[in-house]
Amino acid sequence: MQDNFRGQFINGQFITYSDQTEFSSFNPARDGQIVTVAGESLSAVDDAVDCARSAASGWRRAGLDARISALRAVQEMVPAHVESIADAITAEMGKTRSEALVEARSIAGKIDGVIKQLSSELPSAHIGAPGEQRFHALGVVGIIGPFNFPIHLLNTHVIPTLLTGNTVVIKPSDVTPLCGQRYAELFMDAGFPPGVMNVIHGGGRAGAALVEHPGTDGLVFTGSYATGRRIRRATFDMPHKKISLELGGKNPAVVLDDADLDQAVREILLGALLTTGQRCTATSRVIVTPGLADALRHRLKAAFTRVRPGDPMDSETFMGPLANGAAKDRFFQLLSEAKEQGADVLVDAESLDGGAWVTPGLYEVRGDEPFLNEELFGPHIAFECALDADDAFRRAANTPYGLSASLFSASEDALETFYDRVRVGVVNFNRSTNGASGLLPFGGIGMSGNWRPAGSCAPRLSTYPVAFMKASFGEVTPNSNLEGMLAESN
């Protein structure tokens, strides 16, 4: 049964626009089944930004305590909305029910986490400084979300942006409009102040309109490098606008001879296959030194042969489908290119009928294949054999991305060398490339993005620092040379 699309969420209410262009979301586990028919309106983008602009000053000047109180009201409503939010996540992008519930519940935890971070991330001036150090809200911030974490990767930006005194205009992925609607319903039911949080829907046209809108002071985008690059170009002559990009990853796991094999296998499988490989932090490359190469290859081949996708609504399912047919087509196109470039198929991914279903793939590579610079965004590992630890680190560093990387070893010295040579935003030791913490910085370098729009740095990125200095009323600054010249003129 289709869910009813309620319209754009602007100024605290849902509005349907007469000029909207309809688009649909589909259930990837139910071949072609429509989840909802949503609408895109460029007029809505203008209205949402205008409402956010009108609400901005009042929201900022209401003070931190008032903003915390408003978000606590949202937090209290989360349990009543968890089921409907999780249902939308599973229906629109195929995430397993267990993962979807975790994502829905994380809304409440993020509010607690950011409140705790504010004092350390937005510190007062050092003792003895001749004034205050303040952090001013940017103003109106646009937030464009992805399909793979359609709630979490909105919420992780929305909460710090709101708490620091900004208003927001959110555009969810056009793959997951119902998820965006459910998020708006949560805020509406909590009685959130009108105009402070707005949600508009659509695809590339609506996204471009929000990016280029002169009324926004900041933009947070999560998605591909190609789209992030277009955003940078489009906003080059908008120096007032802070652009924060959270882009992709091509994340290596390096396994040295002294690694614990059981641990490495388990963490690699979780890194590569959770969310069907559709995480920016997913493990997509495994680089192993000679002492464990044969054993690790054997173990991964056996596991990849056994893991199969299943009904995402089944609580026992480990891996669901890809998010849609386009993601499936792209996945197999890139695998075809990998084979043409000489990759050796250890376990080939299969296309299954009935939806965006795929099985995991494991290819052995030399390390110089061009497809290794592409984010497949599916359940796949490129397996590389290195000559030694030095060669393994060189291979891991040889990528234009720089989001997450893992090292499996017993050696802390090896970890420090890994840290020096492999430039990434998240270093993992004997753990998966997945599972980042919101209490630590999160983001990458190179083609993985700029700044650190998620994680602990988010409050600072939604503000600009201000030196705030005062003099007593009527007090003048003494300057004997100036006073002498003024006396002569008199």
Across the beta sheet with 13-15, the strand order is 13-15, 8-10, 197-199, 167-171, 140-144, 218-222, 242-246
Beta bridge partner(s), residue 287? 254, 384
Closest CA to 164 of 220, 204, 212, 209: 220
Residue showing tokens 């849609």: 324
Question: Residue 216 corresponds to which tokens in the numbers above?
Answer: 């926004």
d(CA 249, CA 228): 13
Given the residues 246, 267, 369, 375, select the one marked as catalytic: 246
- At 78, phi and psi to the nearest 5? -55, -50
Given the residues 51, 103, 179, 280, select the one marked as catalytic: 280
- Residue 106 makes CB contacts below 8 A (sequence gap 6+) with 151, 152, 155
Across the beta sheet with 361-364, the strand order is 344-347, 361-364, 380-385, 283-288, 251-255, 404-408, 426-429
Closest CA to 432 of 314, 315, 320, 275: 275
Which secondary structure element, helix H or strand E, spans residue 104, and what is its range? helix 97-121
Clarify whether 280 is annotated catalytic: yes
- Residue 83 makes CB contacts below 8 A (sequence gap 6+) with 104
> DSSP per residue over 24-69, as a string?
EEEETTSTTEEEEEEEE-HHHHHHHHHHHHHHHHHHHHT-HHHHHH
Label residue 147 exposed, middle or buried (CB < 10 Å: 0-12, 13-18, 19+): buried
- Residue 181 makes CB contacts below 8 A (sequence gap 6+) with 5, 6, 9, 36, 38, 88, 199, 201
Identify whether the C-beta of residue 95 lies closer than 8 Å to the C-beta of residue 193: no
Beta strands 441-442 and 454-455 are antiparallel
Handedness of CA 328, 329, 330, 333 (dihedral sign): positive
Active site residues: 246, 280
